[in-house]
Amino acid sequence: MRGPAHEGRHLEVDQDELLDETQWQMYSQASAAAGVSSSLTLPVLDTHGTVIGTINLYASTLDAFHDRLDRLAQALGASAAKAVSNADLSFSSRLVAAEAPRRFADQRDIDIAVGMIAASQHVNTATARERLRAAASRAGITELQAARAIRGLLSG
């Protein structure tokens, strides 16, 4: 069975397909047919701890990544703490995956507010982000709540 990777193509998946059990069964069957006995997905995080990509590793033996997770993550600049081995989508992993669209939307709101602060106050984005954090702290609200308030104030 040859898939997109063997044919030099990429495969795009929308957020509804991420939780489709049929897709994961197909992945599992295709992996087994290709001789994959273990897999490891290492998330790549930005400076805020947000997942911005992943590194997927595959091996033909069951214990290929055993006792190697930390070294692999360090060598590849990824996070060992949030690694997923053997495509283990437990219920908690599915909940995390289901939350991803909301987290991306929340991060987008924060990024837009930071951009608005930077533009209106003629500062760089690092300074604008720190000002957003400080304002949220002073107000006793989350950074997201502050970002949404600022967006409402500056866009109205």
Pick from 63, 83, 61: which is nearest to 72 by CA?
A: 83
Location of each CATH 1.10.10 domain in the chain: 100-155
Residue 89: φ, ψ to 5°: -100, 75
What CATH topology corresponds to 100-155? Arc Repressor Mutant, subunit A (1.10.10)
Which one-letter amino acid corresponds to residue 5?
A: A
The structure's pTM equals: 0.42
**How confident is the prediction along the chain (156 residues), in pLDDT tens digits per residue?**
444 444 555 555 555 555 555 555 555 556 555 666 777 888 888 888 787 888 888 777 777 787 888 888 888 887 777 776 665 434 455 566 677 788 888 999 999 999 999 999 999 999 999 999 999 999 999 999 999 998 888 776
Residue 23: φ, ψ to 5°: -60, -40
Pick from 96, 97, 90, 85: which is nearest to 59 by CA?
A: 85
